[in-house]
Amino acid sequence: MHYLDNAATTKVDLQVADHIRKVMEQSFANPSSLYKPGLDSELILRQSRAKVASAMGCTPAEVYFTGCGTESNNIAILGAVEARKEWADHIICTGYEHPSVQQPIEKLQQQGWKVTLVTPNEQGVIQPEQLADLVTSKTALVTAMQVNNETGAILDVQKLSKLVKEKNARTFVHVDGVQGWLRLPIKLSATQIDSYAVSGHKIHAPKGIGALYLKKNSNIIPPFLGGGQEKGIRPGTENLPYIAGLAMAAEMMQKNMPQRKKQIAHCNELLRSQLENMDGIVLNSPQDAAPEVLNFSVMGIRSETMLHFLEQKEVYVSSGSACSKGAASHTLAAMGLPSQRIDSALRVSFSKDSTQEDVQALLEGLAEGMASLARVK
Ligand code: PLP
């Protein structure tokens, strides 16, 4: 099989799966329990937090485990705004966010918050200045994704946080780092980013585990109430096996970064250079996008038609983001692309498991599909 949909999810690493099973079997005691097995679980929790902190470039005290990227985004956004409602009335956001950011923002707008959306240019790019220039004395939150899940477009979030704080030191800067973490190097403690959301299943850990970086002394009022786990930011008994799995996956991704980057860049260049020479294909990812994602349109052939044609060859790509389930791409629409280009878009996304053979199989499938599939006018 040629799995090229790693932005939707990655395959769990076997070593990670083994480790999770071991923690599940051997360390089932609640980390809050005061007896020895509980203390042993607590030690695993502490060690895991330190590993994730190392992969985020922050202190362990700034890492909070959550259920997924969606939950991390919701906690940060709703929590930051709640803590600033006495003096603020304004939120700034990009027009191409994942639904786990877009929908909380829409809800806040319905509640009376003024929302300014910044759309990308036709190449899919937003400059940090475009967001920061809009900050006023009443801006509670600026939220933006580091790497776009549909095109791979990169936003310089370090620069964004600096520019925002220069305009208003009280404005909270949240970054959705789900597609950026461990792909682009970042040392969060050296930035002015207040919070950064990540997800396990994008880095070869299972679905259902995430984390949130929250800068020391940054003020949020979290939406959930419960026991005091994760210092009350995300209460609920910790999912220790998955937390340990996330930590192991993060450590492995950190270690294999140079080698992996080389391999993924090679796959991307191979695909990009071939696509550029194929009539009827238009690239939708910017030239300097993260190499993990490449989005293009096969003009005249609907995304779903080509996707299912490729599926017969065991080549798996996406017609947009996995969350949109075949709906027209939110990001490509925000870029202002014509509907013929949006309706025929495919997203290919690479991981450490991707090979040159996967790219060749995709290219052969595309050429065959383009020669045999009926075109829409
Ligand atoms: N943010 C981005 C950019 C994503 O791509 C995704 C998942 O596709 C999420 C957030 C949500 O993460 P999770 O699936 O862990 O809830």
CA–centroid distance, residue 68 to ligand 1 (Å):
8
Q: Which two tokens stand for residue 291?
A: 């190499």
**Tokens of residue 43, six digits:** 């030690």
Confidence of residue 330 (pLDDT cuts 50, 70, 90): confident
Instruction: Using pLDDT thresholds of 50, 70 and 90, give the confidence band for residue 375.
Output: low
Give a three-class secondary structure readout of the chain.
CEECECCCCCCCCHHHHHHHHHHHHHCCCCCCCCCHHHHHHHHHHHHHHHHHHHHHCCCHHHEEEECCHHHHHHHHHHHHHHCCCCCCCEEEEECCCCHHHHHHHHHHHHCCCEEEEECCCCCCCCCHHHHHCCCCCCEEEEEEECECCCCCCECCHHHHHHHHHHHCCCCEEEEECCCCECCECCCHHHCCCCEEEEEHHHCCCCCCCEEEEECCCCCCCCCCCCCCHHHHCCCCCCCHHHHHHHHHHHHHHHHCHHHHHHHHHHHHHHHHHHHHCCCCEEECCCCCCCCCEEEEEECCCCHHHHHHHHHHCCEECECCCHHHCCCCCHHHHHCCCCHHHHHCEEEEECCCCCCHHHHHHHHHHHHHHHHHCCCCC
Give catalytic status of residue 323 as yes or no. yes
Query: Which residues partner with 199 through β-bridges?
Result: 210
| Index of the ligand 1 atom closest to the CA of residue 208 | 15
Q: Does the Cβ of 320 fall within 6 Å of ligand 1?
A: no
What is the model's pLDDT at position 321?
56
- Report pTM: 0.96
What is the rounded average pLDDT of the residues 251-258? 97
Confidence tier at 327 by pLDDT (50, 70, 90): low
Is 179 near ligand 1, meaning CB less than 6 Å away?
A: yes
Nearest by Cα to 330 from 94, 68, 116, 114: 94
Closest protein CA for atom 5 of ligand 1:
149
CATH number given to 2-10+257-372: 3.90.1150.10
Check if 98 has its Cβ closer than 6 Å to any atom of ligand 1: yes
Percent of the chain with pLDDT over 90: 95
Sheet containing 195-199: which strands, arranged edge to edge? Answer: 63-66, 210-214, 195-199, 172-176, 139-145, 90-94, 114-118
The Å distance, Cα 69 to ligand 1 centre, comes to 5
Beta bridge partners of 195: 174, 214
How far is ligand 1, taken at its centre, from the CA of residue 370, in Å? 31
Nearest to 88 by CA among 113, 108, 106, 110: 113
CA-nearest residue for atom 8, ligand 1, is: 8
pLDDT for res 150: 96
**Which residue has tokens 């071991």?**
22
State in Å: Cα 8 to ligand 1 middle.
8
- Say how many Å lie between the CA of residue 98 and the centre of ligand 1: 7
Nearest CA to ligand 1 atom 12: 69
User: What are the residue boundaries of the structural domains of the chain, listed by start?
Assistant: 2-10+257-372, 14-255
Atom of ligand 1 nearest to the CA of 323: 8
- pLDDT tens-digit profile of 81-120? 999 999 999 999 999 999 999 999 999 999 999 999 999 9
Contact criterion met (CB below 8 Å) for 200 and 1: no
For 14-255, CATH gives 3.40.640.10
Which protein residue's CA is at the shortest distance from atom 14 of ligand 1? 69
pLDDT of the residue at 373: 84
Q: Is the CB of 68 under 6 A from ligand 1?
A: yes
Site to substitute for ligand 1 among 98, 102, 143, 329, most atoms within 8 A of C-beta? 98
Return the best residue to mutate from 100, 143, 155, 196 for the ligand 1 pocket (most ligand atoms within 8 A of CB).
100
The pLDDT, as a whole number, for residue 41 is 98
> Among residues 327, 319, 263, 267, which one has the least CA distance to residue 296?
319
Cα 321 to Cα 329: distance, rounded to the nearest angstrom: 7
